[in-house]
Amino acid sequence: MFSGLIISILSLTKHAQEPLNIYILTGQLYNRHQQFQALTDDHAAFLNQLVKRENVDSGVTKIDITTQFEADLPKANINTLFTPYSMLRLYSDLVPQFSDRILYLDADVVCRRPFEDFYHQSLAGTDFVGVLDHYGRWFFHHQQRAFDYINSGMLLMNLDMIRQDKLLARCRECCRKWPMIMPDQSAMNKLAKHKAFAPEKYNEQQDVQSDTVFQHFSTRWKLWPIVHTVSVKPWEVDKVHQQLHLHEYDDILAEYQEIMAELDAEGELKTE
């Protein structure tokens, strides 16, 4: 995820018009398949220096929530296809450093345009704002409207209201008791009574469009020559070019590759 964070931060600093306070949720997590290593203080320090290149008032803070996670394990969903890290957003209400308003982004989301207007919108009476899931909206419905299933890779969260109505606490309880296909995302969609819907440009999950603000490199379904999935992440630069035929972020990806080459040459910040 260190690679994803570098690319994400480079893209955010390119388009941000205000100082950025970036918080990274991490932890020493495990399931029956794998032991996962938390990002280190050295990783966080490097990313902090990276974001300050564009604005000295910006900063990166690492928040290890291993303790909170272990105190309320999502037992029924800990061994799914998704790593336990996919559920860390469900613990956001337990992080005292978080303000009442948080823009949550997965590590495979790349910023393409300024986003301050979206961030500063009114959240009165709303738990979170998100974009419909490209595939899930056709199969999952949790309210009376036909399309209500939001993708959790980009969420503008009103933590003040969430702490009051205990949405995330209820989501954690759901993940603890009931197996689900996409645990954190399904729990939030099922239990949220006050969610708002944003245009696709704020979480574009397929091909980039002229107005795309955030592009989410999520898994896609392809029908030819046989039905199969394609998962390309922004740090897989050759695949981004050859499989997605995408050159929109070449300046960011080139800078990312230079950074990684320098780190490899110095023998620092190993991510294995």
CATH number at residue 172: 3.90.550.10
Q: Which residue has the higher pLDDT, 134 or 120?
A: 120
Q: Is the pLDDT of residue 36 over 70?
A: yes
pLDDT at 168: 97
Domain count along the chain: 1
Residue 110 lies in a domain: yes
Residue 236 lies in a domain: no
Mean pLDDT across 260-265:
94
Residue 111 parent element (H or E):
strand 109-111
Query: How far is Cα of residue 36 from the mean position of the Cα atoms in its chain?
Result: 18
pLDDT at 102: 97
Domain span holding position 48: 1-218
pLDDT at 146: 55
Query: What value, to the nearest 5°, has the Cα angle with vertex 158 and ends 95 and 234?
Result: 75
Mean pLDDT across 160-164:
97
Mean pLDDT across 166-178:
96
Query: What value, to the nearest 5°, has the Cα angle with vertex 129 and ends 215 and 216?
Result: 15
Q: How sure is the predictor about 138, in pLDDT bands with cuts at 50, 70 and 90? A: very low
Q: Which residue has the higher pLDDT, 180 or 224?
A: 180
Least confident of 52-61, 134-143, 183-192: 134-143
Q: Mean pLDDT score of the chain, rounded to an integer?
A: 91
Give the Å distances, CA to CA, from 259 to 7, 21, 22, 218, 255: 10, 22, 19, 24, 6
Q: Is the pLDDT of residue 256 over 60?
A: yes
Q: Is the pLDDT of residue 175 over 90?
A: yes
Residue 250 lies in a domain: no
Q: Above pLDDT 90, what percent of the chain? A: 78
Q: How sure is the predictor about 34, in pLDDT bands with cuts at 50, 70 and 90? A: confident
Could you tell me the pTM of the whole model?
Answer: 0.91
pLDDT at 41: 96
d(CA 157, CA 154): 9
d(CA 163, CA 94): 9
Mean pLDDT across 198-210:
96
- Count CB neighbours of 180 within 10 A: 16
Residue 211 lies in a domain: yes
Mean pLDDT across 65-74:
95
pLDDT at 100: 95
Least confident of 180-184, 201-205, 207-211, 260-264: 180-184
Mean pLDDT across 30-36:
85
- Count CB neighbours of 145 within 10 A: 8
Residue 223 lies in a domain: no
